[in-house]
Structure 1
Amino acid sequence: MVYCSEANPELFNPQLVTSSSALDASAKQIYNRLLGFDDLSGQLVPELAEHWRVSEDGRHYHFTLRKGVWFQTSERFSPSRPFNADDVLFSFQRITQVNHPYHGVGGGQYPFFQNIELTENLAAIRKLDDYQVEFELRRPDATFLTNIATDFAVILSAEYGKQLSEEGEMSLIDHQPIGTGPFQLVDYKKNRFVRYRRHPEYFRGPAAMEQLIFDITPNATGRMIKLIGGDCDVAALPQVGQLSLLQEYDDLKLEAQPSFNVAYWAFNTQKPPFDQLPVRRALAMAVDRQKILKAVYHNTAARGEGLLPPISWAYQQGHSSLPYNPELARTLLAQEGLAGMSLEIWAPPIGRSYNPNAIKTAELIQQDLAAIGVKVTIKSYDWSLFTSMLRQAEHDSVLLGWNADNTDPDNFFTPILSCSGLVSGTNHARWCNSEFDALLQRARTNEDRAMRRIQYQQLEQHLVQQVPLLPLAHATRTLGRMRHLEGPILTTVGGIQFGLVKRVD
């Protein structure tokens, strides 16, 4: 099976990344986690852990591991034993223990886990026996189980890690990966392809497809041409204007999935004049989000009133947000002595599931701001360079978004706007607010869902008042696929999967 993907994966270990390209190429193809999410309901389900229980004080999590699970075999490595508790400890201790031999490999940055402050809150991981492990937290965390079910919390092979250490090739653990998932990485050529073969000992049974290929095709039109021509079986991120084209071919169909995502325009709040609230409010009120929904999403997305999408259990119907008011925006800038100001908008060069055309979005915002006398320059770079430059935090503003990794509302607020997200590099608004962080911490430790819902609504109001970013839209995830394929590819949360796909006559 050939999947026309949109970008190169930086590497093949989800622990180290946040980009959807790297997650799609690795998380559900190569690896498993202790827990997962049901594809339809989003509820927690067993993966490498068969059972789990939580202590009454909410600080101890006991997992019973699945027996008879084998890691993949490659030309370099053959496992001598099945998966066990040593692999769980190895995987999480690499993240949380700075003196772990593998902690610094690949740069020592674990963005998702830094966002959720796992190192600070994890008191210990204990191996009780080969198939029993216990996590002890310093304080209760209502998000812990959903966080370790995300695409980032993959289980690595401790035995493979030991072998690479002895060979002096530790970095290969992230580039020539070994996991327990349905597919084994065979080869990767940047800008060309990623090639996999099925894992014959996969614990859920071998995948129907013997081979899986990611054909790296950044251009959306190029992906659609390959799909129509039969050069690929599945195409990522069809442009909204191409959706009707799929209906003209009997052998093609559209797969769509309401998704936990948000597209936003973030201001660099540590860079003048965007450190001034009136300036951020003015710029945000000058943007006509309905026009973006029509021109970029063709009315297939929900307007971004806040970070949380309508399918979130903490979403509030009728949530108040900044109005579209260009006249007031012009007045606010004049009061700040910034009439006629200039700014840059950085926009990624490729479509993402949360924003199919960031360049077009930037052009629409450019038009809106020109109407109030603001000159906008749009900057775009190759995706790899774009993400690298973002880490240097030199942008005025940037169009980005977030695909949530689980159904908990914390997975929106903590990565995008917390102080820990600033440290880990996922908070592109560069915004750190102690009051916001304190409320976020209370919501994370609260076990009462009704109270948590109120707290997340308060966080949404805080966002409206402080405007570190402007939510734009919540997109429906789509892909084009051949009709002869059966089985889900898109998931409610997280990346894509091909382990359940098969050909039918």
Structure 2
Amino acid sequence: MKKSKLWSFGLIMLLALSVLLAACSAEEGTTEEPAETSEETNDGTTTEETEEAVPQILVFGRGGDSVSLDPAIVTDGESFKVTENIFETLLNFGEQDTTINPGLAHDWEVSEDGLEYTFHLQEGVKFHDGTDFNAEAVVKNVERWKGGAEEQFYYFNSMFKAEGKDIIASVEATDDLTVVFTLSRPQAPFLKNIAMSPFAIASPTAFEAAGESFGDNPVGTGPFTFVEWKRNDSITVAKNEEYWQEGLPKLDTIIFRAIPDNSARLNALMTGEIDLADGVNPSDAQTVESNADLQLIERPSMNIGYLGLTNTRPPFDNKLVRQAVNYAIDKQAIVDAFFQGRAEVAVNPMPSSISGYNEEIAGYEYNPEKAKELLAEAGYDGGEIELWAMPVPRPYMPDGQKVAEAIQKNLSDVGIPSKIVQFEWATYLEKAKNGEADAFLLGWTGDNGDADNFIYTLLDKDTIGSNNYAHYSNDEVHELLIAAQSETDEEVRSDLYKQAQEIIHEDAPWVPLAHSIPLLAGKKGVTGYLPHPTGSESLVNVSIE
């Protein structure tokens, strides 16, 4: 009996020891693990969690800083490059063309007489400040554009005013998600115009509260929200977590970094400081193509680079002097030297891909002797002029300083001495717009693919003080352009633009220089980036692998 008790006690102790050893073994992790596990990192998170937490940050290197982030009041591409991602328009262009697609409006109708446009708006969209996007918000934006000072709302006045009258007679919210535009006369490119970046819809609550400082703290409906602006350095935007298009954007943060020198910007890309570089010098294209870590990107061309001649300032108030300058400049040499074959010599103030281009115009050939004859006929006294060189590279002008130096030599050869002048970009634009330059380098990237957006916007007398930097005025050209705006027959409309180009060619308000193929470069891992011919594209589908 005693022996039996001892045996029982020993058995119990053995079982207890076995349980204890099993428990210890489990705590030490020697038992079989489940099939799906994650390793723990030093900070206590799993590797799986760490991978998911890596933010998608894109650093976009560009040629200069923005002027303002209020799309309604700016005209420069560097501003639109940012605002295109903060704001949205009622209609969108195609990914790489200017076909019309839904935007903040999912559908629209046009009346038979072309005077009434009805837009049906997306439901459930909010501005970044949490207020609702609706028809009343659209009305308030249009009222802001119409009621603003003409010198401030450049685009609205150049696109939707003619002969001192508003083309948009009224805009009405017929219900919460329907808005009706009524025009005072037909405007053939109205849908393309309203899809342009300057006519993005902003939060009325925000712009009413901010007043003129709205451009420093912009509020739209777009895929990215404004974070901060370090002047002349960088602008940061962040993913809109409440964006109305599901699954977008793919990036968490975009930093638009200003690096004025093209070569320095490319170097920043090659050293990994940035992910995308705008404005690659044509001469550097081979460097990019030979680098296995980079990709060369071509932007579809829809631009014009030109030498503007302020028609109200001597000596360029004389047509003969303007014609002489056109003969004096060797445009082919400029294209060969600074565009490396990725441009064509310009003849007219718009590219040949635009409907209405006049192919019958031969253009001014390089003829210094003819230039001298015209200067003598004009009685030019040989006084020195100021030649303004752009301080930043633009898609239509990769190096304004070098182009200015080439033009300076051409002008000197025919007896026109010149002094090259530069200003900070915003100051340059403002002074040139006000007619303070003698001759100035500038250009234009088309906003909507329509001839009206080149010839009327840049050279009609109604747009002096906005985009007509040359202060060119011709009543006959004006009548042709106004008629073309209202004409719905495309063949008739095209002929009107061709007639206007003939007169402009004779008057020579500019020296058209080149239509370029702008180049960009990016890391191989940047995907989904599709450069738009307008120069302003949404980065909503871009990601980094």
Task: Identify the residue that residue 203 of structure 1 maps to in structure 2.
Answer: 244
In the alignment, residue 21 of structure 1 is paired with which amino acid? E
Unaligned runs of 5+ in 2: 1-57
* Cα distance in structure 2, aligned partners of 1:133 and 1:388: 35
In the alignment, residue 439 of structure 1 is paired with which amino acid? L
Q: 1:302 aligns with which of 344, 363, 367?
A: 344
SS in structure 2 at match of 1:308? coil
Q: 2:160 aligns with which of 114, 117, 126?
A: 117
User: In the TM superposition, what are the counterparts of 1:254-293 in structure 2 within 5 Å?
Assistant: 254-293=296-335
- Displacement of 1:389 in angstroms is 2.3
* Cα distance in structure 1, aligned partners of 2:428 and 2:465: 19
User: In the TM superposition, what are the counterparts of 1:7-406 in structure 2 within 5 Å?
Assistant: 7-26=64-83, 28-72=84-128, 77-79=129-131, 82-97=132-147, 103=148, 109-118=152-161, 120-161=166-207, 164=209, 169-205=210-246, 206-338=248-380, 340-406=382-448
Farther off after superposition, 375-384 or 488-497: 488-497
1:81-127 Cα deviation digits (max 9, x unpaired): x3110110111110113xxxxx36xx961111111234611111011
* Cα distance in structure 1, aligned partners of 2:277 and 2:506: 40
- Displacement of 1:475 in angstroms is 0.9
1:3 aligned onto 2:60: yes
- Displacement of 1:160 in angstroms is 3.1
Task: Identify the residue that residue 32 of structure 2 maps to in structure 1.
Answer: none
Q: 2:486 aligns with which of 431, 438, 445?
A: 445
* Cα distance in structure 2, aligned partners of 1:318 and 1:239: 32
1:466-502 Cα deviation digits (max 9, x unpaired): 0011111111122111110111241122413311101
SS in structure 2 at match of 1:16? coil
Task: Identify the residue that residue 54 of structure 2 maps to in structure 1.
Answer: none
SS in structure 2 at match of 1:69? coil
* Cα distance in structure 2, aligned partners of 1:108 and 1:330: 38
1:119-140 Cα deviation digits (max 9, x unpaired): 6111110110001111001111
Aligned residues: 484
Task: Identify the residue that residue 24 of structure 2 maps to in structure 1.
Answer: none
* Cα distance in structure 2, aligned partners of 1:321 and 1:503: 46
- Displacement of 1:244 in angstroms is 1.2
In the alignment, residue 381 of structure 1 is paired with which amino acid? F
For the 8 Å contact 1:308–1:314, the answer to whether it is kept is: no
Farther off after superposition, 383-392 or 30-39: 383-392
SS in structure 2 at match of 1:386? helix
* Cα distance in structure 2, aligned partners of 1:484 and 1:362: 37
For the 8 Å contact 1:151–1:494, the answer to whether it is kept is: no
SS in structure 1 at match of 2:429? helix
For the 8 Å contact 1:330–1:339, the answer to whether it is kept is: no
For the 8 Å contact 2:325–2:511, the answer to whether it is kept is: no
* Cα distance in structure 2, aligned partners of 1:468 and 1:126: 40
SS in structure 1 at match of 2:198? coil
* Cα distance in structure 2, aligned partners of 1:319 and 1:435: 18
User: In the TM superposition, what are the counterparts of 1:396-475 in structure 2 within 5 Å?
Assistant: 396-424=438-466, 426-475=467-516
In the alignment, residue 491 of structure 1 is paired with which amino acid? H
Task: Identify the residue that residue 522 of structure 2 maps to in structure 1.
Answer: 481
TM-score by length of 1: 0.93
- Displacement of 1:326 in angstroms is 1.2
* Cα distance in structure 2, aligned partners of 1:54 and 1:60: 6
Which one has the largest radius of gyration? Answer: 2
Q: Percent same amino acid among aligned pairs? A: 30
- Displacement of 1:392 in angstroms is 3.5
- Displacement of 1:58 in angstroms is 0.8
In the alignment, residue 84 of structure 1 is paired with which amino acid? N
- Displacement of 1:308 in angstroms is 1.6
1:243-286 Cα deviation digits (max 9, x unpaired): 11101211101110222110111111111221111111111111
* Cα distance in structure 2, aligned partners of 1:19 and 1:41: 20
* Cα distance in structure 2, aligned partners of 1:134 and 1:502: 37
SS in structure 2 at match of 1:427? coil
For the 8 Å contact 1:314–1:409, the answer to whether it is kept is: yes
TM-score by length of 2: 0.86
Q: 1:108 to 1:324 in 2, by over 3 A?
A: closer
* Cα distance in structure 1, aligned partners of 2:332 and 2:144: 45
Q: Over the residues paired in the alignment, what is the CA RMSD in angstroms?
A: 1.6
- Displacement of 1:503 in angstroms is 1.8
Task: Identify the residue that residue 100 of structure 1 maps to in structure 2.
Answer: none
For the 8 Å contact 1:341–1:373, the answer to whether it is kept is: no
* Cα distance in structure 1, aligned partners of 2:529 and 2:452: 26
* Cα distance in structure 1, aligned partners of 2:191 and 2:478: 21
1:10-36 Cα deviation digits (max 9, x unpaired): 21111101011111121x210100001
For the 8 Å contact 1:146–1:406, the answer to whether it is kept is: yes
1:201-240 Cα deviation digits (max 9, x unpaired): 2222321111111122112122111100011000110111
Task: Identify the residue that residue 48 of structure 2 maps to in structure 1.
Answer: none
In the alignment, residue 428 of structure 1 is paired with which amino acid? Y
* Cα distance in structure 2, aligned partners of 1:146 and 1:218: 31
SS in structure 2 at match of 1:204? coil
SS in structure 2 at match of 1:275? coil
- Displacement of 1:404 in angstroms is 1.0
